[in-house]
A and B are shown apart, each in its own frame.
Chain A
Amino acid sequence: MVPIAYYLVLSAVLFSIGVAAFLIKRNIITVFMSIELMLNAVNLAFIAFSRQWSQTTGHLQVNGQIFVFFVMVVAAAEAAVGLAIIIAVFRARNTLNVDQIDLMKL
């Protein structure tokens, strides 16, 4: 038996590591990967809450798992478009460093 709170704490830890990686990393692909890490942390929280809701009501509830299903679909679409944008940026600027992609910076 594992308390569901442990799963939620793990999800919070993964999300915070994702936020830290998003701030530290200078490579645009790694920044994008830390976004995926944060999405995965949220998915874990959704599944843990879905399990808790099942236990509270006494019978199986899959609403939280449906949420995760849709998050996965949107994440797949987002990864395809995002990586295409990264390829386009690399073609135009010939760098992957986010500090050098500052055309819109004041």
Chain B
Amino acid sequence: MKERETGSLLAALRRAATLHRLYGSSHPLTGVALADAAREADVLAEGQPVQLTVLDESIYLDRTLLPMASLTHGGFLRTMHDRGLRSVTFLPPVAMADLSRLTAALAGEALEPAGAGSVRLNQDNLAADDLEESGDGRRVAYTATLDLLRAVSLAVSERERVSLLDTAAAVRSLVDLCLDDPSAALLLSTMKSHHEYTFFHSVNTCILTLMIGRMTGLDRADQLLLGMGALLHDIGKVGVSPAVLQHPGRLSPEQWAEIRIHPQVGAESILTASEPGQEVVAVVALEHHARYDGSGYPNLLYFEEPPEHTDGYSRQHPLHLFSRLTAVADGYDALTSRRSYRRAESPARALRVLLSDAGTVYDPDVVHAFIDIMGEFPPGSVLRLQRGEVVLVDQPAPDADGPVPALLVVDAAGRKLARPEPRSFLPGEVAGYLTPDRAGVDPALILEQVGASPDD
């Protein structure tokens, strides 16, 4: 399986298409990007024709599913779909001029016929039956949940009735994942996608929230409700215009007003869809931005007045426990993700922010529980050690003073390893934190490399 090579090619194609769109096809920068993409295509092909097929929200290399690429290059998937491209065949050596037709199509220009040449579009579209399914259960659960979120979002945006049955099924898989393999779940939660931020963020928030819920001792039924709330907490954002969501800066008051209603929009949709016993899922959507001290949004009257006691409900804090758990996970993932308006923070800084805001924005007990789960060096942290090595933490440390399990991705001489190696370290060895993009490290891809067999 050539996930890494395919990922590199897709990233290069995306960059070339972006530059094509900004500068035009003749600009030197575009030419450099095309040359890179052609080189990546040749590396992937290794002298033989290869075909990338896009089908059902998945990317296939020849007939093999590439789950990681499918997850992390959702934008490429959508662009291909929008442009009517089902497949791209590369016949090495790939010529830049041929590749330029592909990037022009990806950039939104008219699609030229496949023709002859080293890059052929829609030449041999494979049917679903021709393609293989593969991928381990973790990624299948993650992918399935992403697909579900896309479907739910579409239903909410078109004001159609949403079914929470499928949501419950997806969350069950994630609950199982968190219970059976918490380390893998935590590492999976480091998956990021800038172009599908809301969906990836929702799945990651769900995983992280379930981990806190697991520590809290919730039973399975409660875990399911908690997970559904966390998964759907931002579903109301479908009502926010892309212009606001993608605005690369601070929001104007009008834009802020548009964002601030998403808890209500989401809560209303969920409430309408909820069956008896699932109403609390809507509570999480409504309350997740309310803040521990009530200074958030929306302005909930029951924060100011004692609620009426109905059937023995005893209030301990105005915000439901599930909302407070989700808020911490939500904040952490948002901080560690590249947003339209800000680059990602390191996991360590994100923990510091959570702790600084404990008692005001976040429930202090929940923050402490989360820090305990993540440790001083949360999974997904990219660190530079004193000797110059760069490591990626892939599991929480069993204890605070002992070695931290990690993967060596760049050696002391500055060479990037083709395949990461286990390299635990002591806290005292840490020289500094790096963000993944600054370090040139893709945690999701490394997860894939580590999970794949040596023959892949």
State whether these chains interact: no
Q: Which residues of B contact A (CB under 8 A)?
A: none
